Structure 1
Amino acid sequence: MAITAEFLDQLDRFNLVIHKRVTSNYIGTRESIASGQGLVFEDHRLYAIGDDYRWIDWKVYGRTDKLHIRRFEEERSLTVHILLDKSGSMKFMDKWDYAAMLGVGFAYLTMKENEKFQFSTFAEDIDNFRPKRGRQHLASMIHQLNAMKVSGVGDILKAARAVKKSTFSKALIIIISDFLYDLKEIETALALLSKNNLKIIQLFDKKEYDLAFKGEFKLKDAEVRDEIQTFISPHMQKVYKDKLGQHCAAIKKICMDVGAEYHLVTTEQPIFDVFFEVLRENLLLRSGKVK
């Protein structure tokens, strides 16, 4: 797995640039809100049973006689849960290395913000990592990922049930997988987690996504180990791309139906572009640009 100290240094620089931008925007936004005249601003919502009372804006209560929650505090206090698919199909070409870097990157950026996070991998079963804060503790998790066997049949529904069982309040859940699963299982799994801020990253190696091979090949199922001898022709490439496109479109629709955010990513994309795109909404929430 290509996770190096240099990669973590790059994450530090990325976090610093984003933090400076968000902090300056956020301060300006909060100052304008503080000068409001008796209004309930769009960055608030009504308090509901089960909400953390520490998020109540008592100044707004004094003006309106109603309890309101600061959305910024609500979003900021989310526990981040990163769920990484380690089933056999993730081993194709550079897919696992890229997926692992994404997972570690999200964990590291979360840790740098002093946020709580959980990191899990899944295939037939789910493995949980709860590293302490600090770069040296993250190194232990990276070491375990380096030694991890990427194989087996994935069970996304079992993984979703485990995450739901361990999630006691609204969380930011990021799932990184190729999602080569039965659509009904995917729909059920995502519905289980739909009360959270759910971000889906469907990841493919670029050659896998385009089926960039021609001629005679022996294809082996990475999870159940079945093999077939086939000839990859332009017609077969078209059929493959059509079916894969339909599968991805169906997953995107499922995400829309359950309120999840969908991202289709290939390994040729610059990884820091993916970090920014996936976290963009959260960054804008912190800056006050999205209410």
Structure 2
Amino acid sequence: MKQSPLILPDEWISKVSRLSIATSSKVRGQHKGSHRSQRFGASLDFSDFREYTLGDDVRQVDWNVYARTEKFFIKRFLDEQEMRVHILLDGTRSMGEERKWLFARQIAAALGLMVLQRDDRLSFSYIGEQSAMPFRKKGAIYRKPFLQIVSNLEEAQGTGNFASNGLKVLPKDSTVLFIITDGLETIEQWEQFFKRLPRFAGDVRCIQIVTEEELNPQYTGDVRLIDAETAREVNVSVSNRVRANYDKLRAEHEGQFNALASRFGIRKIQLIVEDGFQNALFHKLLKAHWVQ
């Protein structure tokens, strides 16, 4: 496969490496990692004492406490467990505008680099016409291979329903699930998708990618519009009334989309392409406590 230029410059990669995914989810993997879980284990993070019982490891007895109380107590430590993060990227045709698609992939790449840099487990799936190689790796040595995979996804030309197809590629053992999409499926499709997501992850987050043109189109007069998903052409005379109706329908869709996310316990944030990658990552996601 031809290797495309990396979509994140070295300067951005260096800055991204200083961040990590923030989560309060207690769902952890069984393998050692860099995050403290609520289970007890053998890390260096002290939790508390409990009275010694037959069968406990005598090496955990705290003799200083015994000298004061003449009772045997053992130290308990928080176990360190890996975080498992899955990124699901929408590659259907509505994501195909060049700047929008680049921005979505940059966000996906940045989140993935944060996971791998912290020795956590990353998996990635992509819904589009082009098949992305399955990715499920752990460790910083896989940062560049992951970045290359995302960079190689040159076009968003997927057909069909993103929401229903997305369920087919999700692992069922994630700590955090990121969904990167423009949210332009029907509300009925999103409802069927969202209500099933809690079984896949304890912490589900939806990143909605939009452009200024989608939020506030500047078309006037007679124009021919092409549906990005179906390629169907529509001739429209853009008047103030038509624009007002578009604004109304979009606001209704956005309100219902947000309400659905809230109903199913899904955290959602909207990122505008024109605001730029650095603003999205180092301002909006940090402010929302999605990264730290």
Q: Provide TM-score, normalisation by structure 2.
A: 0.72
Question: Residue 167 of structure 2: which of 160, 170, 183 is its match?
Answer: 160
Secondary structure in 2 aligned to 1:198? strand
Q: Distance in 2 between the 1:108 and 1:44 partners?
A: 20
State the match for 1:39 in structure 2.
none
Matched, 1:62 2:50: yes
State the match for 2:226 in structure 1.
220
Structure 2 counterpart of 1:216, which letter? D
Q: Distance in 2 between the 1:250 and 1:69 partners?
A: 45
State the match for 1:10 in structure 2.
12
Q: Distance in 2 between the 1:274 and 1:73 partners?
A: 30
State the match for 2:103 in structure 1.
98
Q: Give the Å deviation of 1:52.
A: 5.0
Question: Residue 145 of structure 1: which of 139, 148, 153 is its match?
Answer: 153
- The verdict on how the C-alpha distance between 1:69 and 1:88 changes in structure 2, with shifts beyond 3 A counting, is farther
Q: Give the Å deviation of 1:189.
A: 0.9
State the match for 2:196 in structure 1.
192
Q: Give the Å deviation of 1:83.
A: 0.7
Matched, 1:82 2:87: yes
Q: Distance in 2 between the 1:213 and 1:275 partners?
A: 31
State the match for 2:277 in structure 1.
271
- Aligned-pair identity in percent equals 16
Q: Distance in 2 between the 1:113 and 1:156 partners?
A: 30
Q: Distance in 1 between the 2:52 and 2:248 partners?
A: 56
Aligned CA RMSD, in angstroms, stands at 3.5
Which structure is higher in helix share? 1
Q: Give the Å deviation of 1:93.
A: 5.0
Q: Distance in 2 between the 1:150 and 1:188 partners?
A: 23
Q: Provide TM-score, normalisation by structure 1.
A: 0.72
Q: Is the 8 A contact 2:130 2:158 kept in 1?
A: no
Q: Give the Å deviation of 1:190.
A: 1.4
Q: Can you give the 5+ residue segments of structure 2 that lack an aligned partner in the other structure?
A: 42-46, 54-75
Structure 1 counterpart of 2:107, which letter? L
Structure label with greater radius of gyration:
2
Count residues in correspondence: 248
Q: Is the 8 A contact 2:95 2:156 kept in 1?
A: no
- The verdict on how the C-alpha distance between 1:211 and 1:5 changes in structure 2, with shifts beyond 3 A counting, is closer
